[in-house]
Amino acid sequence: MTLIFRRAERADLPALIAIFAEDLLGGHGDTTDPEAFPRYERAFDQIEASNSDQLIVGVLDGEVVATAQVTFTTTLPSIGTTNMTIGAVQTRSDMRGQGVGGKLINHCIALGKERGVGLIQLMSNAKRVDAHRFYERLGFKKSHAGFKMVVDAGPAAT
């Protein structure tokens, strides 16, 4: 049983969607409904075309068991440093507690170091207390308050 990490491929979409859809705590409304598939395909295409984003999958024995998206952002503050944000972190529910998530985050950290980032950050839903402990064990520190605004995207979202 060898766990490997690689960039996601279009063929991984059904497995990724299933992982996101089983996450009821996140409240993202992900679904395995076939009518939603074209929206996932469009999002995948945008991520794949971006020089600033990478969608990573963890594959064990040929099955996608984890995922994360990393985004690189260069800002003027901090003298033009490039930062990396880790998001959309999910491990398939039957694989949690087996070290997959830690290896995934360490893989993402290595990607950031390869790109010479000055800061690696991530956000986690305030309800995910267990995840917060997990990230702290990996060396992350709580530092900022987060805010969000849900916007009705209208017809462009469909």
What pLDDT, on a 0 to 100 scale, did the predictor assign at position 23? Answer: 81
Question: What tens digit of pLDDT does each residue of 47-106 get?
Answer: 999 999 999 999 999 999 999 999 999 999 889 999 999 999 999 999 999 999 999 999
Looking at the chain, the whole-number percentage of residues with pLDDT higher than 70 is 94
What pLDDT, on a 0 to 100 scale, did the predictor assign at position 107? Answer: 98
131 pLDDT band, cuts 50/70/90, is confident
Return d(Cα 21, Cα 19) in angstroms, integer: 6
CB–CB of 119/83 below 8 Å?
Answer: yes
- The mean pLDDT of the chain is 91
For the chain, which domains are there? 3-152 (3.40.630.30)
